[in-house]
Structure 1
Amino acid sequence: MSSVRRRPRNRKAQIARAAAEAFGESGYHAVSMDDIATRVGISAAALYRHAAGKYQLFRDAVLALGTQLQDCTAFVEEPPNPLEPAQLRDQILTALIDTALANRSSGGLYRRQARYLVDDDHVLLMDQLKSVNRRIQVPLRELRPGLAAPQRWTLSAAALSVIGSVADHHAQLGHPQLRELLLGRAATVLNAELPQGVSREAVVSAAEVSAGRYEDVLRQSLILFHRRGYHQTSVEDIAGAVGMPASGIYRYFSGKADILAASFRRAADRVSADVANTLAAESDPGQALDRLIEAYIARSFENPELAHVYHTERINLPPADDKVLRNIQRATVEAWAQLLTAVRPQFGVAEARIVVHAGFAVVVDIGRLVGFEDAGGAPQSRAWVRTLMTATLLGGDVAEEPADTAGVSVDLSA
């Protein structure tokens, strides 16, 4: 008598997990229904019995992450809460950290690929994230009653960025150590005092010199990749933005992927050069790290499209180019980590790597929130991002009497 194969009871969960991991690793456009089916061990035809198509699986994966963040912090709205504000803050952050670590392979979806959600679904995700931010702000209101709404939103978003940064890299640390490290960095960020009254003269510039059509192609392609997405941008689109025929693009690049790789390699080389130049000019680790922070933020604000595209479209690089880029980035992170351990001996090198990645994530995420693209970056916004990156890396003082928030380009409700 032949045995009857039964569908596993957890098939739906298997599919959801496989889809989230596939999209997290390769991006929405690079994943097919066949890819997801293979991960589950079923045919594509069988997969279609569970989902109408790839977009449904992607939508469900992204919104499931948002739901998990909501669920793990739901206790904040269940009165009465007997915890002191600092205890409640740490409990919220710990719950979010545990959720991020449980979804490390797919956690970048809601942070880096939300642009591929259709309008209503994107609004739903934003509502999920706003509710999580509001819950972080419950103890923050008690601990720092002088904060205005833009400050609270910026600080809670920065804490989420620190926590979510674990999905951006593969640096390893024991779970208990990683949990404690992220808790300490996120809590420190919530204590950061955001500066006011920053003059434009205080802003450091990292302006680049144009070198003709080649640079124009790189620049316009990044703007289009940022606005439309890599897969929605064609070589013809780039050529039109530059003002040349599509055939002219191929005088400089073999194709769209080559343009993306050249842009990323250029950015990585410049950040790497900042490290080399700084270490050659400055022997004091604290001063060197301070100069690197200034340079990193200057480059990010003066090239906002690159800062965004680097984090959202890197998965589209050809494997050989991605390997080169990873090696450059790894060397850069290592140099930052060595400086950080010299300035903060309580961090081991493995811990410092995690912290450096968190600092980089804060620059991208909060730069976009407070005005990454405001006419080259409003000085006040840049000062906020600098403060938050410094707090992430080095710690910060508790703000006893925060000043007002005039002039900061954050449009969020109280």
Structure 2
Amino acid sequence: MRRRPKDRKEQIARAAAEAFSRFGYYGVSMEMIASRVGITAAALYRHYPGKYDLFRGAVLGLGQQLVDCTAFADDEPLDDPQDQLHRLIAALVDTSLANRNSGGLYRWEGRYLRGDDQAELIAQMRKVHRRIQRPLNEMRPGLTSTQRWTLSTAVISVIGSIVDHRAKLPAAQVRRLIAELADTVVRTDLPVEPDGDRLLSTGQPVRTDTSRYEALLSESMRLFNLKGYRDTSMEDIAAAVGMPASGIYRYFPGKSDILAAAFRRAADRLSAELSAVAAAATDPEDALTRVIDAYVERSFAEPELDYVYYSERLNMSPADQKILRNMQRATVESVVELVVAVRPQWTPAQARFAVHAAMSLVIDLGRLMNYRHTVQNYATVVRMLEATLLGRYRLRTTLPTK
């Protein structure tokens, strides 16, 4: 007689979190999760009424792990704020490593939570932010509220980047490296610009190609970012471009093909731009700083690209996902070469984790700032990337004027 394991519900929760993280909310069925656990779908329904309940439990369960691992900070005096901050960072790194196969769920799929569930996830993350900000405020009492949120977001972003890629490095080295990067960003002096609110651009790319093909790509990405891939219809895209929905099929077989084509086009352009920027540099450090400038500039000009890539890439075919992964890997490796040349004490594997951390910072800080392309925001994000990849930041005498 087979006995049900005592931790069956925990097994289901782990399997659900990994499945939702890998395939997305809409790519997972109750049957898939039951198969991963080794039970029937009927048995799974005895534990959870439906897929959303599993999803809710998986996302909020991950958020609760972040809350639980940092709870010690509420119960002790701040005699040594620096030590407490280091222990908070270490706890978050350990939790992220333990959930590396599913941690992306709360970062990219949490948007599918409903009503009070969405509010609960936000409350969980705010609690973790507050715990980081408490010792930070003691260490740096002159920080404004905006600066504290910027720095706590940067810390969580660097740590959270672990779950966004599959680069390999021994766990002990990951702990040391990510803790070092988090400590670096939290100590970075944030720039204060006299005309910090001045807009550098409208936040929208200047399009010289007005063809229907280009318009379909750009408007689709804008809508995918605004409404989500699943809630954007072909009719929505057609209306934004000013054409009948049937006309789209002259260019693309389906919606997922639009998504894949937009990403390939963006990846090609980014690769060409970064290569040209690096080629014009005088040495590796100059090349790396130019690449940082160009990457941040592109992210503010086209803010939907990175976020939609991470949040909607699972809606592409497996073949298109593989192509995009290879293109992204090539871009990452080109930056890794520059980082290793500037910081020879790092191995390529260590530099790879740092580059992914920098990419995560661009997304998370950009979203915090609502991608307002101001002098202040641009300088802040650039400085954070310099701290992450160079280990220091440059004092600038000039800033972009466009």
> If the TM-score is normalised by the length of the shorter chain, which range does it land in?
over 0.9
Query: What residue number does 1:291 align with?
Result: 290
Structure 2 alignment gaps of length 5 or more:
394-402
C-alpha spacing 1:302/1:96, structure 2 compared with 1 (3 Å): same
Q: Confirm whether residue 23 of structure 1 aligns to residue 30 of structure 2.
A: no
Query: What residue number does 2:60 align with?
Result: 63
Q: Name the aligned partner's letter for residue 145 of structure 1.
A: P
Query: What residue number does 1:314 align with?
Result: 313
Q: Aligned equivalents of 1:27 and 1:379: distance in 2?
A: 36
Q: Deviations over 1:67-126 (max 9, x none)?
A: 1101111110112455x2221111010000000000001111111111111121111111
Matches within 5 A, 1:224-239: 224-239=223-238
Q: Aligned equivalents of 1:317 and 1:266: distance in 2?
A: 15
CA contact (8 A) 1:371 1:381 kept: no
CA contact (8 A) 1:336 1:356 kept: yes
Query: What residue number does 2:215 align with?
Result: 216
Pairwise CA distance, 1:266: 1.1
Q: Aligned equivalents of 1:279 and 1:223: distance in 2?
A: 29
Q: Confirm whether residue 78 of structure 1 aligns to residue 75 of structure 2.
A: yes
Q: Confirm whether residue 189 of structure 1 aligns to residue 218 of structure 2.
A: no
Q: Deviations over 1:381-405 (max 9, x none)?
A: 12211111222212237xxxxxxxx
Pairwise CA distance, 1:219: 1.4
Pairwise CA distance, 1:328: 1.2
Query: What residue number does 1:137 align with?
Result: 133
Q: Aligned equivalents of 1:55 and 1:148: distance in 2?
A: 39
Residue of structure 2 aligned with 1:381, choices 364, 377, 384: 377
Q: Aligned equivalents of 1:228 and 1:53: distance in 2?
A: 24
Matches within 5 A, 1:3-42: 4-42=1-39
Pairwise CA distance, 1:305: 1.6
Q: Aligned equivalents of 2:206 and 2:293: distance in 1?
A: 13
Q: Aligned equivalents of 2:199 and 2:143: distance in 1?
A: 26
Q: Name the aligned partner's letter for residue 43 of structure 2.
A: A
C-alpha spacing 1:81/1:201, structure 2 compared with 1 (3 Å): closer
Residue of structure 2 aligned with 1:103, choices 99, 105, 110: 99
Q: Name the aligned partner's letter for residue 11 of structure 2.
A: Q
Query: What residue number does 2:116 align with?
Result: 120
Q: Deviations over 1:125-153 (max 9, x none)?
A: 11110110111111111111110111001
Residue of structure 2 aligned with 1:177, choices 169, 173, 180: 173
Kindly tell me the number of residue pairs found equivalent between the two proteins.
Answer: 392
Q: Aligned equivalents of 2:157 and 2:78: distance in 1?
A: 26
Q: Aligned equivalents of 1:333 and 1:307: distance in 2?
A: 14
CA contact (8 A) 1:206 1:295 kept: no
Q: Aligned equivalents of 2:252 and 2:204: distance in 1?
A: 29
Q: Aligned equivalents of 2:206 and 2:185: distance in 1?
A: 29
Pairwise CA distance, 1:205: 9.7
Identity of aligned residues (%): 55
Q: CA RMSD in A?
A: 1.9
CA contact (8 A) 1:189 1:396 kept: no
TM (norm. structure 2) is 0.94
Query: What residue number does 1:391 align with?
Result: 387
Pairwise CA distance, 1:293: 0.8
Structure 1 alignment gaps of length 5 or more:
398-414
CA contact (8 A) 2:278 2:291 kept: no
C-alpha spacing 1:230/1:206, structure 2 compared with 1 (3 Å): closer
CA contact (8 A) 1:205 1:298 kept: no
Specify the SS of the correspondent of 1:79: coil
Q: Aligned equivalents of 2:378 and 2:210: distance in 1?
A: 27
Greater CA drift, 276-285 or 177-186: 276-285
CA contact (8 A) 1:206 1:298 kept: no
Q: Aligned equivalents of 1:81 and 1:382: distance in 2?
A: 33
Pairwise CA distance, 1:320: 1.1
Q: Aligned equivalents of 1:311 and 1:207: distance in 2?
A: 24
TM (norm. structure 1) is 0.91
Q: Deviations over 1:324-356 (max 9, x none)?
A: 111111111111011001111221110000000
Q: Deviations over 1:130-182 (max 9, x none)?
A: 11011111111111111011100110011000000011100000000000000
Q: Aligned equivalents of 1:317 and 1:328: distance in 2?
A: 15
CA contact (8 A) 1:12 1:50 kept: yes
Query: What residue number does 1:408 align with?
Result: none
Q: Aligned equivalents of 2:207 and 2:276: distance in 1?
A: 16
Greater CA drift, 202-211 or 112-121: 202-211
